[in-house]
Amino acid sequence: MRDDEGEDPLPIELGPVSNGEFNPLPISPVARETVCRTRDAIDHQASRLGVSRRSFLRTSMASAVMLMTLDACSSEERASRGKPAGGTLRVPESTTTTSTPPSTDFVMDVQTHFLDFGEHPDAFDFGAVFPQTACGESDAQLCYSIEHYLEEIFLRSDTRVAVVSAIPFAPEDSALTIEDMERVRRIADQLCDDGRILMHGQALPAYGPLDVQLAAMEPLVVEHPIAAWKVYTHAPGQGWFLDDHDASRPQVGNAFLDKVREVGPPIVCVHKGLAGGSRFASPVDIGPAARAHPDLSFVVYHSGYESSQREGPYDPDGSGINRLIRSLSDAGITPGQNVYAELGSTWYLLMRDLDAAAHALGKLLVAVGPDNIIWGTDSIWFGSPQSQLDAFRAFEISTEYQERYGYPALTDEVKQKILGGNAARLYDIDPFSNACEFSPEDIMAARQALPLRPASYGPRTARAVQTLASDHGWVGF
């Protein structure tokens, strides 16, 4: 059961869903009841205000109604078990009857993606499993285009700056290459001229000969304004670890980190968690790598979260986020040091289970500190990130959980750090609040204004020829 069953989708998706890196869980009883009650509440509010259901769904009031309903259903379910509240949603009653203007607070999303099948018609269709597929295009692949990306991120949400992050495919199989990232960056600059798109450089240390892979990082950082490096330790190719602790696996981690230090920028974004249970996506290596490389910053994408395991109080022998915290603790990495926890897909999945969300965020606030949690959404896999923003802004950790587990309060000030301030500091950019208005026609005009590509393709140096021959052209990322 999807929560958007019927003609018009609800403002927040609570049904079974995945980002392609894990099996979706069935809809929970709380989510199911929330969906049913929200439909009724939206019909009632729309009638009360004298507008159509569809018109009401396009307002901020619809999101407020659904969040208030989710909070009420969660509270009732807890009460039926005699359990105290852990996570709650604070939604003023007035927001369900009066539209609120978009927030001007700075929001920086460090995990966004798109897929350009127009440029890569034979690429692996990574988008087929995502909610964004239902965007309304006759060809679902078009739902992941640059046009939809810019609309969903910047027109349909409060996001001001977005980082385009690499996906776990070698360039020959990917519909998101460095050239695609450059194209969306240049289009955004044509539209807004404020540097609101940053790019990751993909590195594949265990995919082909190590010396070739490390050498390929040099031209990438010279030819493109790379803001950070992105790696997956579980795909593609052989699984590996950042700290090389497993002698049976490719010993590439420290060599890669040394190369990052040499060529810069000194930020490593690494996917940990949400990988179908792969042991190579465990964050066990984060603490030792951070301790051995204190001059590098490590951004742990998904924070080690696993959708198959419900988050609870910290357990040093537990799964999910517990593994990241244990790794940091064992290595002596304390809050505010060089490890950052990122929330892409993690918050999207947690926000339907408020008590688990309180444990997850509470543990991270204790382990890495309020200055080292970073906002990401994994958009546009799930469509516009606005529903995630709305839920996060409304979310609070209960006083009881603060007192029982030692979690800090998730204040408005802390939320603003997480939503934008922390990432701006890490990436050394000045926060700004101005929105940028444009139309689909503006996007097409900006795309057409880009320079033509070279007429000839192929390697132009001896090193490039060697790379192509050795590893089927992976340097093309």
Residues 189, 49 share a domain = no
The residue type at 382: F
Residues 6+ away with beta carbon under 8 Å from 246 = none
CATH code of residue 418: 3.20.20.140
201-231 tens-digit pLDDT: 999 999 999 999 999 999 999 999 999 999 9
**Does 446 fall in a domain?**
no
Cβ atoms within 10 Å, residue 315: 13
**Does 77 fall in a domain?**
yes
Q: Which of 45, 64, 99 represents a domain boundary (last residue)?
A: 99
**Does 390 fall in a domain?**
yes
Q: What is the pLDDT of residue 455?
A: 30
Place of tokens 């127009």: 118
**Does 40 fall in a domain?**
yes
344-402 tens-digit pLDDT: 999 999 999 999 999 999 999 999 999 999 999 999 999 999 999 999 999 999 999 99
Q: What is the pLDDT of residue 473?
A: 32
Residues 203, 93 share a domain = no
Residues 6+ away with beta carbon under 8 Å from 105 = 158, 416, 419, 420, 433
Q: What is the pLDDT of residue 9?
A: 86
Q: Which of 99, 117, 151 represents a domain boundary (last residue)?
A: 99
**Does 82 fall in a domain?**
yes
Q: What is the pLDDT of residue 458?
A: 30
Q: What stretches of 199-277 show up as alpha helix (H) in DSSP?
A: 210-223, 253-263
Residues 131, 16 share a domain = no
Q: What is the pLDDT of residue 15?
A: 81
The residue type at 45: Q
Domain count along the chain: 2
Q: What is the pTM of this model?
A: 0.90
Residues 223, 189 share a domain = yes
Dihedral over Cα of 179, 181, 186, 191: its sign? positive
Residues 91, 118 share a domain = no
**Does 451 fall in a domain?**
no
Q: What is the pLDDT of residue 16?
A: 78
Residues 359, 333 share a domain = yes
12 cis-preceded (ω within 30 degrees of 0) = no
Residues 420, 271 share a domain = yes
- 221 vs 162: CA distance, rounded Å: 19
The per-residue DSSP string of 66-133 comes to: HHHHHHHHHHHHHHHHT----EEE---GGGGTS--PPP-S--EEEEE----TTT-TTS--TTTTSGGG
Q: What is the pLDDT of residue 462?
A: 38
Cβ atoms within 10 Å, residue 158: 21
**Does 436 fall in a domain?**
no
Domain, as residue range, for 9? 1-99
Q: Which of 99, 121, 143 represents a domain boundary (last residue)?
A: 99
Residues 26, 1 share a domain = yes
**Does 329 fall in a domain?**
yes
Residues 192, 78 share a domain = no
Tens-level pLDDT at each residue, the chain (477 residues): 344 444 578 999 898 776 666 677 789 999 999 999 999 999 999 999 999 999 999 999 999 999 999 999 999 999 999 999 999 999 999 999 999 988 989 999 999 999 998 888 888 776 677 788 888 898 889 999 999 999 999 989 999 999 999 999 888 888 899 999 999 999 999 999 999 999 999 999 999 999 999 999 999 999 999 999 999 999 998 999 999 999 999 999 999 999 999 999 999 999 999 998 899 999 999 999 999 999 999 999 999 999 999 999 999 999 999 999 999 999 999 999 999 999 999 999 999 999 999 999 999 999 999 999 999 999 999 999 999 999 999 999 999 999 999 999 999 999 999 999 999 999 999 998 777 888 777 877 776 665 543 332 233 333 433 443 343 332 222
- 16 vs 19: CA distance, rounded Å: 11
Residues 132, 264 share a domain = yes
CA dihedral in degrees (279, 281, 287, 291; nearest 10)? 110
Q: What is the pLDDT of residue 21?
A: 64
Can you tell me whether residue 191 is helix, strand or coil? helix
Residues 128, 39 share a domain = no
